[in-house]
Amino acid sequence: MNNTEILRFKTLICERLQTLSAQSEMGRDGQAVVQLDQQSVGRLSRMDALQNQAMAKAQQARRDAETTGLRAALARIGEDEFGYCDACGDPIPPKRLELNLTATRCVSCASG
């Protein structure tokens, strides 16, 4: 992989990290503690609020996992290991990396 491609992937990774950070900020309110005031909210509304909170926490967990993978990809770029399969050492096709910036295995190793 040439320097231009590496720079393009590094830019894509940084942009995705910024997007995830912005999404995390917007999702903070949904993860807040649900107030169970029976005087102001009915039982079904409380259940709905708890379900919304659980979904917000699950979305945050997915964002956190993706952020971890993207930071690992940036570390691999710094070590000149990005774009190479962890299992066999062959280059990972750029199209695969475009679909999944955190890919660490080529198609044959990932499927086998």
Place of tokens 């102001």: 40
- The pLDDT tens digits of the residues spanning 18-34 come to 999 999 888 776 666 65
Q: Which of 64, 74, 72 is nearest to 23 (CA)?
A: 64
What's residue 9's pLDDT?
97
Q: pTM of whole model > 0.95? A: no
- What average pLDDT does range 77-93 have in this prediction? 95
HSE-up of 108 (CA within 13 Å, CB side)? Answer: 7
- The pLDDT tens digits of the residues spanning 34-68 come to 555 555 556 667 778 788 888 888 999 999 999 99
Q: What percent of the chain has pLDDT over 70?
A: 86
Whether 20 and 66 have beta carbons less than 8 Å apart is answered as: yes
